[in-house]
Structure 1
Amino acid sequence: MQPRFDLNYLRHHEHRSQLGWLMLRLTVAGIIAAHGWTRVFNGGVLPFGEFLNGHGFVIGTALAMFVTGSEIIGSVLLILGKLVTPLGLLFAFIYGMGIVLVHAKEGWFVVGPGNGGAEYSVLLIVSFLALALHHYPQARLRLVKSDQHSTGKQGNQR
């Protein structure tokens, strides 16, 4: 007999939270995989490199290959839940540069009142930063000051 999903699992806040974080991680992994693979299959890596060279990056083609490879390999790692914090920070930086180089001059909206704006990239950046923060090693987080322990106050530690 195959195990089935038990809806009682979702009655616990921690389980819903874990499921929500998993959904976010898998969604952004799929989005960046699509970015990378589409660039590869449509012959866009070299034009992306030329675009970067035109904006003053001396090694634009190498950067385009790095970004594309990061999107492809990084998406697999994100799906597996590996290196989420460094990848989240890396992708937040990459998509932040996309705003600086492309989307900021197009305004805020991607469609509707605008075209090609920054709103989609901002959503991805916030998602990547949230994942990076969520997956940051617990032992390194210092959310509670040491003097709170001595006074008996406890902070909220995830």
Structure 2
Amino acid sequence: MGIANGGLSMQLPYPPLKWALLVLRFTTALLFMAHATARIAYGTIPQFAKFMASQGFPYPEYWVWAITLAELVAGTAMIIGWRVRFAAVPLLAIAIGGIVLIHWRFGWFVGEHGTGGSEYSVALIVMLLVVAASDTNDAALPTNEE
């Protein structure tokens, strides 16, 4: 059986779709939570607030804390499988806002062929859309039968 007939794909150890979507949900949540955690741990809230002020945001430190808390709370909700579609909304807003405020002007690539571009944020948006679209309101872990 050749590759064209699905032979290769049948031999690779792909996880069941439900498990793959669970890994995607966890990974997406953890990526947002990592940014929030780093912002707190490294003490970069003031620098981010200064940037937000330069973009014309009133009360920039409140905005930064709102973004940081949204990443932590929505990320946690996604990990535990609670209101995943609802949790994706603020994270989508954060990713889109990041493109508009920061990444768009740097082009597409994040590394190798550019610096600070939009590709990572676009990947996060696609990940969030897939996670939200696949949410079944079932926080239970997949069983071996699935």
Q: What residue in structure 1 maps to residue 51 of structure 2?
A: 51
Find the counterpart in structure 2 of residue 40 from structure 1.
Answer: 40
Q: Does residue 63 of structure 1 match 2:53?
A: no
Change (3 A) 1:85 1:111: same
Note the residue ranges of structure 2 that are not aligned, 5 or more in a row. Answer: 1-14, 138-146
| Structure 1 residues 36-56: Cα deviation after superposition (integer angstroms, max 9, x where no partner) | 000001111122122111101
Q: CA deviation at 1:105?
A: 0.7
SS in 1 for 2:38: helix
Q: Which residue is equivalent to 2:99? A: 99
* Separation in 1, partners of 2:106, 2:136: 34
TM-score of the superposition, structure 2-length normalised?
0.79
Letter in 1 for 2:65: M
Structure showing greater Rg: 1
Query: Residue 136 of structure 1: CA displacement?
Result: 6.7
Please, what is the CA RMSD of the aligned residues? 1.5
**Which blocks of at least 5 consecutive residues in structure 1 are unaligned?**
1-14, 138-158
TM-score by length of 1: 0.73
> Where does residue 77 of structure 2 map in the other structure?
77
Conserved? CA contact 1:108–1:114, under 8 Å: yes
Higher relative contact order (Cα pairs below 8 Å, separated by 6+ residues): 2
